[in-house]
Chains A and B, each alone.
Chain A
Amino acid sequence: MKGSIIIISFFVIGLFCGLNGLVTNAFEQYDLSFYVLCALMFCVGISIGANKESLESIKKVDPVFLLLPLVTILGTLVGVSILRLFITSHSLSEILAVGSGFGYYSLSSVFISKFKGAELGTIALLSNITREILTLTLAPLMVKYFGRLAPISAGGATTMDTTLPIITRYSGQQYVVVSVFHGFMVDLSVPFLVTLFCMI
Chain B
Amino acid sequence: MFTVVLIMLSGVLVGLLLQKHKLTWIYKVINMLIWLLLFLLGIEVGSNKQIIQGFAKIGFEAILIGTFAVIGSVIAAAIFYRWKIKKQNIK
The minimal Cβ–Cβ distance linking A84 to chain B, given in whole angstroms, is: 10
Contact with B along A1-24 (1 / 0, CB 8 A): 001001110111111111111010
Which secondary structure dominates where chain A touches chain B?
helix
Given contacts A46-B12, A130-B62, A147-B77, contact A25 B23 (CB under 8 A): no
Q: Judge whether B13 and A147 touch: CB under 8 Å.
A: no
Chain A contact-residue range equals 35 or more
Q: Judge whether B33 and A14 touch: CB under 8 Å.
A: no
Which residue of chain B lies nearest to A123 when distances are taken between CB atoms in the complex? B62
Given contacts A49-B16, A75-B77, contact A130 B51 (CB under 8 A): no
Given contacts A109-B38, A134-B70, contact A38 B7 (CB under 8 A): yes
Q: Judge whether A142 and B5 touch: CB under 8 Å.
A: no
Point out which of B2, B10, B73 has the most chain A C-beta atoms below 10 A from its C-beta.
B73
Contact with B along A82-95 (1 / 0, CB 8 A): 11001101100001
The minimal Cβ–Cβ distance linking B84 to chain A, given in whole angstroms, is: 6
Contacting residue for A36 out of B31, B33, B68, CB 8 A: B33
Contacts of A129 in B (CB 8 A): 66
Complex CA–CA separation, A109 to B41 (angstroms): 8
Contacts of B26 in A (CB 8 A): 43, 46-47, 50
Q: Judge whether A149 and B11 touch: CB under 8 Å.
A: no
Contacts of A64 in B (CB 8 A): 84, 87
Which residue of chain B lies nearest to A74 when distances are taken between CB atoms in the complex? B76
Contacts of B14 in A (CB 8 A): 42, 45-46, 49
Chain A 138-189 interface residues, beta-carbon cutoff 8 Å to B: 138, 142, 145-150, 152-154, 156
Given contacts A43-B33, A44-B11, contact A11 B77 (CB under 8 A): no
The minimal Cβ–Cβ distance linking A168 to chain B, given in whole angstroms, is: 16
Which residue of chain A lies nearest to B16 when distances are taken between CB atoms in the complex? A49
Complex CA–CA separation, A131 to B53 (angstroms): 24
The minimal Cβ–Cβ distance linking B7 to chain A, given in whole angstroms, is: 5
Contact with A along B11-22 (1 / 0, CB 8 A): 111111111010
Complex CA–CA separation, A126 to B17 (angstroms): 36
Q: Judge whether A130 and B11 touch: CB under 8 Å.
A: no
> What are 19 A-B contacts with C-beta separation under 8 Å?
A7-B34, A17-B46, A18-B44, A33-B37, A33-B44, A36-B37, A38-B4, A43-B33, A45-B7, A45-B11, A75-B72, A80-B65, A106-B38, A130-B63, A135-B70, A138-B70, A147-B78, A150-B81, A154-B73
Seen from chain A, the residues whose Cβ lies within 8 Å of a Cβ on chain B are 3, 6-8, 10-21, 23, 25, 27-28, 32-33, 36-52, 64, 67-68, 71-72, 74-80, 82-83, 86-87, 89-90, 95, 98-99, 102, 106-107, 109-111, 113, 115, 118-119, 121-131, 134-135, 138, 142, 145-150, 152-154, 156, 191-192, 195, 198-199
